[in-house]
Amino acid sequence: MDAVECRSDTEYPERPLSLIWKGARYEIAEIFARWRGPGEKGFRVKTVDGFAFELTYQEISDTWHVQPI
């Protein structure tokens, strides 16, 4: 199951901190893009290990989609 740990000050999610993909946990080092679409928030991130992922949060279903890029 894909999961994302986030920091949330005024609304969820504001800043992804780590993600779980295929059972492994990756700490996020950098957010290099973010967007908001109808019913979703998205982030492109780079991990401490140098991997890049696209993270999409679906607000209505309260679920994350994690995709390597």
pLDDT (0 to 100) of residue 1 = 60
d(CA 44, CA 66): 10
Contacts of 27 (CB under 8 A, 6+ apart): 17, 18, 47, 48
pLDDT digits (tens, 9 = 90+) for 14-43: 889 999 999 999 999 999 999 999 999 999
- Helices and strands, counts by H and E, the chain: 0, 6
Say if pTM beats, i.e. exceeds, 0.85.
yes
Whether 17 contacts 30, CB under 8 Å: no
pLDDT digits (tens, 9 = 90+) for 49-62: 999 999 999 999 99
Q: Could you tell me which residue, 43 or 12, shows the higher pLDDT?
A: 43
